[in-house]
């Protein structure tokens, strides 16, 4: 693997704006921890650890999207479907923090930018799409796969525009913002398709093996009508 | 934790270890989407050094954790790239599972008994 960095490095966005996003990231993660407690039980907690570890692994697998350009999974959609939006955002953040501190990937000063884009913005966009699509699509492995595919594309493109926003506020080079926005969006549509295929394969596999472990199938559906004994 | 869940977690972890430990060596070495955007506007020589132009990459600063033994998804002291990438991936999966799983276990909702 020649590419050894895949997240925002130090210095690309200036110090003050980076610090503002550290505050935003900490606040967002604090809300996530608070809301995640209601979801985390004896079964979801270890499952969430596995989801984080799996996202770390798949983020190492850069796939080619254009000649000379690769991409990798961000993981928000996968996490939202398997463990829910709050725990899911914490899974992605855990991966980013481990990558920053141990693997020197994604600047320490830029950690707030990376967490905001991938763990908060991208995951939130994916969550909205998943919640919407699962109201329309059949709650089968196939429906879940289509949901994962579409939500991944939207989530990845929205996350990429998070960077554009941060760059607009504190970019350290004099470059055309529309150019950066277009490049980021265009490349990330392709990366989103790749992420969509990986996320769809993963959630469909889990849905077939252990449907009871898929958060989206348990929580985003209307409660099944309970059979009531009708007195004769 | 039930035994069935234990088997599922073990299976999932094994898949993650294989992906990070083995498959990672077959990943694309091209710049990713963000890195590609950061390089737009500059020209590069054969050694991948910037030779001219204006791009975001020029402003990239040093990483505070650049001295980490795992920096850059390698393992200090191991020259074989295949082994270094694989081992760093395996360590990353185990650390992420331990840290993530441990924190989630600590904040979990205890079943009222």
User: CB A102 to CB B1 under 8 A?
Assistant: no
| pLDDT at site B3 | 85
Under 8 Å between Cβ of B36 and B57: no
| pLDDT at site A1 | 42
Residue ranges of chain A whose pLDDT lies below 50 = 1-2
Task: Average the pLDDT over B71-81 and give the result.
Answer: 94
Under 8 Å between Cβ of A44 and A87: yes
What's the rounded Cα separation, in Å, for the pair A70 and B75?
23
Spell out the residues 6+ positions from residue A105 whose beta carbon is closer than 8 angstroms to its own: A4, A5, A6, A7, A99, B72, B73
**CA-based nearest residue in chain A for residue B23:** A61
Q: How many domains does chain A have?
A: 1
Residue range(s) defining the domain that contains residue A148: 15-219
Nearest residue to A211 via CA among B4, B51, B54: B4
**CA-based nearest distance A232→chain B, Å:** 36
Q: Is residue A82 part of a domain?
A: yes
Q: Is residue A153 part of a domain?
A: yes
| pLDDT at site A229 | 56
Q: Is residue A49 part of a domain?
A: yes
**CA-based nearest residue in chain B for residue A174:** B54
Q: Is residue A116 part of a domain?
A: yes
Complex ipTM tops 0.90: yes
Question: pLDDT for B13-51, tens place per residue?
Answer: 999 999 999 999 999 999 999 999 999 999 999 999 999
User: CB A53 to CB B37 under 8 A?
Assistant: no
Distance (Å) of CA A107 to CA A15, A69, A89:
12, 21, 19
User: CB A179 to CB B40 under 8 A?
Assistant: yes
- The CATH number of the domain holding residue A87 is 1.10.1760.20
């Amino acid at each position: 693997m020649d590419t050894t960095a895949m997240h925002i490095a130090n210095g690309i966005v200036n110090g003050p704006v980076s610090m503002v996003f550290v505050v935003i990231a900490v606040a967002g993660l604090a809300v996530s921890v608070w809301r995640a407690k209601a979801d985390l039980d004896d079964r979801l907690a270890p499952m969430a650890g596995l989801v984080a570890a799996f996202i770390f692994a798949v983020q190492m697998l850069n796939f080619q999207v254009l000649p000379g350009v690769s991409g990798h999974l961000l993981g928000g959609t996968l996490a939202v479907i398997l463990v829910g939006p709050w725990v899911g955002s914490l899974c992605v953040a855990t991966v980013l923090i481990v990558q920053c501190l141990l693997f020197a990937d994604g600047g320490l000063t830029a950690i707030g930018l990376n967490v905001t884009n991938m763990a908060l913005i991208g995951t939130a966009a994916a969550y909205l799409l998943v919640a919407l699509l699962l109201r329309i699509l059949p709650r089968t492995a196939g429906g879940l796969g289509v949901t994962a595919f579409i939500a991944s594309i939207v989530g990845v493109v929205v996350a990429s525009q998070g960077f554009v926003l941060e760059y607009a506020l504190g970019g350290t080079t004099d470059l055309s913002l529309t150019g950066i926005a277009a490049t980021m969006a265009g490349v990330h549509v392709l990366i989103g398709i790749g992420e969509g295929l990986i996320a769809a394969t993963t959630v469909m596999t889990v849905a077939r093996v252990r449907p009871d472990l898929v958060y989206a199938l348990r929580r985003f559906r209307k409660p099944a009508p309970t059979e009531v004994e009708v007195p004769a | 934790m039930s035994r069935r869940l234990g088997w599922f977690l073990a299976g999932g972890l094994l898949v993650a270890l294989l992906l990070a430990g083995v498959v990672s060596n077959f990943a694309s070495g091209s710049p990713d989407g963000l890195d590609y955007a950061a390089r737009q506007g500059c020209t590069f020589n054969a050694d991948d050094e910037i030779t001219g132009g204006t791009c975001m990459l020029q402003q990239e600063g040093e990483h505070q954790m650049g001295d980490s033994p795992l920096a850059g998804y390698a393992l200090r002291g191991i020259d074989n790239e295949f082994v270094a990438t694989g081992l760093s991936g395996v360590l990353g999966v185990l650390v992420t599972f331990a840290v993530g799983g441990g924190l989630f276990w600590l904040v979990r909702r205890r079943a009222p008994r």
